[in-house]
Each structure stands twice: as C-alpha cells, then as structure tokens.
C-alpha cells in the first residue's frame, strides 16, 4: 500500500497538533471563508454536486475525515478533537452529507478489507471520487436482517447476484453500494451471508427512488438482476459476512446514537419558545428543562461510550443503548415542538414565526423513522437483554 495513495494536504498534521482554542479558531475561520451561508440548514442533507463540492473543499484544505487514522489519509484526531470538530460544525449549522462511505465502509475496510481493497477504495472515498450507499434491508428483512434473500451464486471469478434492497438512503446519488447477500443456505440464517462491494453502474443494477413522509426522495429500492460482481470485491471470508455486518452496524449505531439530531431539534424548540414567549408557561418551561437535562446526559454517555471504544472496549452492545436513547429523545423533543407550537405545530414547510424561520413539523417527520432504521428499538433492547443482562429475549 503506497504512501502516495493516502496523501493528504500538508496542513492536516498542523491542525492535529494545534491546542484546542487554536484548533477551534482555525476551523471557524475555514467555515466562515468557505461554507456558503445559504447551506446553513443542519436538518437537511447536501446532495449531488453540492455535497461533492463540500467534501472536496474539506479535503483540499485538510479538514476531511477527522476520525480516520493518519495512515489512511485521515486527520487522525483524538476523540476530544473529533468532538470539538463536530461541535464547531454544529455551531455553524453545517448541513449533513451522505457519508456512509466515510463513517461506515471506511472503518470496515480498515479491519476486514484486503490490502488491495484498502489501497483502491479508501483514497477514492477520501477524495470524494466515490459515494457509497448501503444495501442491507429488504422488503422482508428489515430489522430481522439475517432473513435476507438476495442471493449470490459463485460462477468462476464472479458472483451472480439476484434480489432487491429497500430503504437505501440516497441511492440515486451513489456511485457504489456495499451489500449483504446470501451465499449459502446451510446452517443458521446468520451463516451463509457475505459482504460484497459493487459499482452502481454495473449491468443489472436498477435504482428507483421512494418519497418519504416529508415528500422528499431520500430512500431507494435497488434491484439486482444477474449482476456479476468480481470475487475480489468480497470483504472478509465467504459466508462470514455477518461478522463484518455486525461491526458495520456498530459504527452505524454510534453515528445514529450521536446527540446531534436531538441537539438540533432542541435548538429549534428553544427558538420556538423565544418567538412565542413560552417561557411564561411553567409547564412548558419544566418540560423544556427536563429535555435539556436528558440531552446533557446523552452527550455525556456518548462521549464515554465512544471514548471507551477508541480505547479498545469491544462491547459493541453499548452502541445499542446509545441508539435507543438518542432516537427516542429525538422523538420526544420533536413531539414537544409540535405540542408547544400550537397552531404552528403541524404546518409542513419553512415558515416565519416572529423574526425566526422554522420548519417545526419536518423534524418530527424525520424523527418518526429514527427508532426503526439501523435496527429498531425493539431489536436493540433484545440485544441488551441477551448480551448484557444474560436473559432470554
């Protein structure tokens, strides 16, 4: 694996070595100089060319991949520096991007990929040449992921894949997809599953967008019809994809378990309080204080769990606890926003309330799905019951 393959702008190391105050000031100055004001909508995602421009701008200025090790071209920041990085992004209201390749596939390749796969795919993710989506859920295999039926049959140096995936986030913008496929029907259903990488433009792959409750085409169906995928695109061993999938789901649940969305929701509710003068209502004020305290506790737990993981803690079950707490708090806060908003509570779309522009209802719609995607809350509780408490599910 050549060092040139993972070359990064020279200032990356300098950022990593800065004291915290200087690090914050450098990042704030970068955002003020390069991030467009009209994109400061944290509950929305940048997509298409906008997202690529922003990723490449981060890369060119050394601010790409804060959590990736330096050996793979990332910033190699400590946990504390990563938290500071994301705090500043949130403070500046930077919109989210589709970062499945960065936050999910990249770490999987660190641990399970071949040297050839790392050398080829990681630099392309780093430079935003490839955008990845996740082919996991199927029409009859959502939270019960091990029931998937998309089949891959070995044919010489290729797998021939047939089946379908659903709820594939922003698949219409992706250039590549990583998928779980069934390569054997022998043994328990978790056995016989493999993890494959493929280009979206491979012959036989069809992507169809699905509109969500907010009226946006965020999800997709992906169909595989006699798709030939090279065996060299297998990550991990054949029929051992479940182990790879579990590690990836751990990374996904860390991402979903972040307090970021709940924090954005609470910020919107706090602004609603200000413009509607709800501070004068003791019941509303008490409920807001309780939710603020819950968000603080979630933040502390998130830092502890992520810190322990980076220090070598292998108890990925703790990610399930984060996922439950973060998504259910996100829902509670948005439900409170609808209640407190009164006549404005259920209005779809951005609207002027006093001197503020708010989109109160959209957050609640986005929160509806959060306790389902990434493994439903029921599944997460079963994981905790079995692995932590040692009880039958």
Domain 132-240 and domain 257-387 have a common topology: no
How high is the pLDDT of residue 302? 86
Global confidence as pTM: 0.80
Contact status, residue 180 vs residue 195, Cβ threshold 8 Å? yes
Domain positions in the chain are: 3-97, 132-240, 257-387
How high is the pLDDT of residue 273? 85
Return per-residue pLDDT of the chain as tens, 393 residues.
Answer: 554 466 667 677 789 899 999 999 999 999 999 999 999 876 678 888 999 999 999 999 999 999 899 899 999 888 778 878 988 998 898 988 888 999 889 989 999 999 999 999 999 999 999 999 999 999 887 767 888 999 999 999 999 999 999 989 889 999 999 999 999 999 888 899 999 999 999 999 999 999 877 677 778 999 999 999 999 999 999 999 998 887 766 556 566 778 888 988 898 888 888 888 888 889 999 999 999 999 999 989 888 887 777 666 666 677 888 889 999 999 999 999 888 888 877 777 777 778 877 777 778 888 888 888 777 888 888 888 887 778 876
How high is the pLDDT of residue 43? 67
CATH of domain 257-387: 1.20.140.10
How high is the pLDDT of residue 3? 47
CATH tag for 132-240 (out of 3.30.1490.100, 2.40.110.10, 2.130.10.10, 3.30.1370.30): 2.40.110.10
The residues assigned a catalytic role are 252
Nearest to 249 by CA among 172, 193, 173: 193
């Amino acid at each position: 694996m050549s060092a040139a393959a993972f070359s990064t702008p020279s200032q990356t190391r300098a950022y990593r070595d800065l004291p915290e105050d200087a690090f914050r000031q450098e990042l704030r100055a970068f955002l003020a100089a390069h991030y467009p004001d009209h994109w400061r909508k944290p509950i929305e995602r940048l997509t298409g060319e906008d997202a690529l421009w922003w990723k490449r701008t981060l890369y060119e200025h050394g601010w790409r991949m804060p959590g990736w090790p330096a050996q793979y071209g990332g910033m190699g920041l400590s946990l504390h520096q990563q938290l500071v990085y994301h705090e500043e992004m949130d403070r500046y209201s930077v919109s989210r991007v589709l970062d499945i390749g960065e936050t999910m596939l990249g770490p999987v390749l660190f641990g399970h990929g071949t040297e050839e796969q790392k050398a080829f795919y990681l630099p392309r993710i780093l430079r935003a040449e490839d955008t990845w989506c996740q082919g996991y859920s199927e029409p009859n295999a959502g939270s019960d992921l091990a029931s998937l039926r998309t089949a891959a049959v070995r044919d010489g140096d290729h797998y021939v894949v047939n089946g379908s995936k659903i709820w594939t986030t922003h698949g219409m913008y992706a250039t590549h997809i990583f998928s779980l496929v069934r390569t054997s029907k022998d043994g328990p259903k978790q056995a016989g599953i493999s993890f494959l990488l493929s280009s979206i433009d491979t012959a036989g792959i069809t992507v169809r967008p699905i509109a969500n409750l907010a009226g946006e085409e965020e999800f997709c169906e992906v169909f595989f019809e006699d798709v030939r995928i090279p065996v060299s695109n297998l990550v991990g061993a054949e029929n051992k994809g479940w182990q790879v999938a579990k590690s990836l789901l751990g990374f996904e649940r860390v991402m979903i378990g972040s307090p970021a969305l709940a924090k954005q929701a609470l910020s919107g509710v706090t602004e609603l309080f200000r413009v509607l003068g709800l501070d004068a209502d003791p019941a509303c004020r008490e409920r807001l204080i309780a939710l603020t305290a819950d968000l603080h506790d979630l933040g502390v737990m998130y830092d502890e769990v992520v810190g322990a993981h980076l220090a070598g803690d292998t108890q990925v079950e703790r990610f399930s606890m984060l996922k439950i707490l973060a998504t259910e708090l996100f829902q509670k806060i948005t439900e409170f926003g609808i209640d407190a908003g009164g006549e404005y509570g259920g209005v779809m779309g951005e609207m002027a309330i006093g001197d503020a522009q708010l989109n109160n209802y959209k957050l609640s719609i986005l929160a509806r799905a959060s306790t389902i995607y990434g493994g439903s809350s029921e599944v997460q509780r079963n994981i905790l019951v079995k692995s932590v408490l040692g009880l039958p599910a």
